[in-house]
């Protein structure tokens, strides 16, 4: 029997709801392996994050409610479980946020929720918080979670209020999705709203400029990395999503284990897999790789022992060595150890008439930069 507590203080509710929101990552643009899971030590609903533009800021991040009518097997809040269920009102959520904001503690809001009653009822409550903040003359960052199965009217309202929105795709393809949930439909509740958001935010559309992101839960279903990478490529190329996030499914969190006790995949393996998918995602978004170029093992998964860019280099010796003083940006970005910042520095030096004669000309030769040596000439 679900126990719903209604007389808790706001801070007690936040303590419960912010903990439940920690694995929803579609608000942080971390470069480190675990950077997107950091929270402040005192108030666990305040997250230091790096935004899309590279600026570091603090977000107020919580669920509006942990009540939920869905049965997502990876989720400890699914309907058949009985955690302490609590909800915040739109008024107390906005009041607490504005208090933090006016003290200079936070600069933006990330708001999600379990599904209370139905998707549109939940979206009405989420949108009500954003509406109060906008009426209070808050013009800053608001990221709203779109609930699967929401109507076009509810989504349009969110887009009119938010800086960014996200609807979690969760896994790649309908077959894998059916392993996770029987209360949601992959086509109607997930892909159709994502396509609608893309339509409403494209150039010339009413909400152009709003950001759309999504998230995969890695390892909750039996999808391969190849399926995730191909799905990500489609989301970027066809639907123009701004960013995709990956959250490793973690056993022992109250989620159902689809793999069984005999699985050899540990929680650390899944976190490592998450990290490799972020690297593959970076190659596609920033380095000019296509989905077909991402090197995979025979299982259809990324190697857990070597990053995909270096593995691609080892598999394509005909591409190397690259002349650091002559190669274009595309070729330089294929060199292990050379990232965007370093490649731009090389090009700037060349444009200024400077000839690079050694890696030390580029600055301190750290471990990452030294990886480039076998693949370049001067």
What's CA 145's distance to the chain center, in Å?
Answer: 12
Q: How far is CA 302 from CA 227, 299, 319, in A?
A: 11, 9, 21
Q: Torsion-angle region of residue 238: left (phi > 0), alpha (psi -120 to 50) or beta?
A: alpha
Determine the pLDDT at residue 80.
66
Among residues 337, 327, 347, which one has the least CA distance to residue 370?
Answer: 337
> Could you tell me the pLDDT band of residue 268, with boundaries at 50, 70 and 90?
confident
Determine the pLDDT at residue 20.
63
> Could you tell me the pLDDT band of residue 253, with boundaries at 50, 70 and 90?
low
Determine the pLDDT at residue 235.
98
Summarised one tens digit per residue, pLDDT across range 328-355 is 999 999 999 999 989 999 999 999 999 9
262 is written with which tokens? 């005999």
Q: What is the mean pLDDT of the chain?
A: 86
Summarised one tens digit per residue, pLDDT across range 56-109 is 788 999 989 888 777 777 776 666 666 677 889 999 999 999 999 999 999 999
Asked if the model's pLDDT at residue 304 lies above 60, the reply is: yes
Domain 3-258 = CATH 3.90.1150.220: no
- How much of the chain is helix, strand and coil, in % rounded to 5? 40, 15, 45
Report the DSSP pairing between strands 46-50 and 56-63.
antiparallel
Among residues 336, 307, 305, 302, which one has the least CA distance to residue 320?
Answer: 336
Tell me how long the chain is. Answer: 378
Query: Distance between CA atoms of 216 and 129, rounded to whole angstroms?
Result: 26
Domain ranges in the chain? 3-258, 316-377
Q: Give 11's contacts (C-beta < 8 A, 6+ positions apart).
A: none
Among residues 337, 322, 276, 340, which one has the least CA distance to residue 302?
Answer: 276
What is 316-377's CATH topology? DNA polymerase; domain 1 (1.10.150)
Task: Using the structure block, give the residue that is written with the tokens 């909400």.
Answer: 207
SS3 348: helix
Q: How far is CA 262 from CA 38, 122, 266, in A?
A: 31, 38, 11
Query: Distance between CA atoms of 181 and 174, rounded to whole angstroms?
Result: 10
SS3 62: strand
């Amino acid at each position: 029997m679900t126990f719903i507590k209604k007389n808790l203080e706001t801070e007690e509710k936040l303590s419960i709801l912010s903990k439940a929101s920690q694995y929803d990552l579609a608000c942080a643009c971390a470069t480190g392996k675990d950077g997107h899971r950091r929270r402040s030590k005192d108030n666990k609903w305040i997250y230091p994050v790096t935004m899309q533009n590279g600026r570091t800021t603090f977000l107020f991040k919580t669920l509006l409610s942990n009540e939920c009518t869905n049965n997502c097997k990876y989720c400890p809040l699914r309907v058949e479980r009985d955690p302490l269920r609590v909800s915040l009102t739109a008024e107390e959520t906005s009041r607490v946020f504005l208090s933090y904001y006016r003290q200079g503690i936070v600069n933006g809001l990330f708001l999600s929720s379990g599904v209370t009653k139905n998707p549109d009822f939940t979206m009405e409550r989420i949108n009500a918080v954003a509406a109060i903040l906008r009426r209070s003359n808050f013009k800053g960052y608001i990221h709203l979670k779109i609930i699967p199965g929401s109507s076009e009217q509810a989504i349009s309202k969110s887009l009119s209020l938010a800086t960014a929105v996200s609807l979690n795709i969760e896994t790649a393809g309908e077959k894998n999705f059916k392993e996770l949930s029987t209360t949601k439909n992959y086509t109607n509740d997930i892909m159709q709203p994502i396509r609608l958001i893309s339509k409403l935010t494209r150039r010339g559309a009413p909400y152009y400029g709003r950001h759309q992101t999504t998230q995969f839960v890695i390892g909750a279903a039996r999808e391969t990395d190849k399926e995730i990478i191909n799905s990500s490529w489609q989301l970027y190329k066809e639907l123009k999503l701004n960013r995709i996030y990956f959250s490793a499914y973690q056993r022992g969190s109250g989620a159902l284990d689809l793999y069984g006790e005999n699985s050899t995949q540990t929680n650390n393996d899944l976190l490592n897999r998450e990290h490799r998918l972020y690297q593959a995602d970076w190659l596609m978004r920033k380095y000019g790789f296509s989905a077909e170029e991402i090197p995979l093992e025979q299982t259809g998964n990324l190697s857990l022992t070597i990053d995909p860019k270096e593995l691609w280099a080892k598999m394509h010796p005909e591409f190397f060595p690259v002349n650091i003083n002559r190669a274009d940006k595309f070729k330089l970005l294929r060199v292990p150890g050379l990232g965007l910042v370093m490649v731009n520095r090389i090009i700037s030096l060349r444009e200024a008439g400077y000839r690079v004669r050694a890696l030390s000309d580029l600055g301190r030769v750290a471990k990452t930069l030294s990886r480039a040596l076998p693949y370049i000439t001067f």
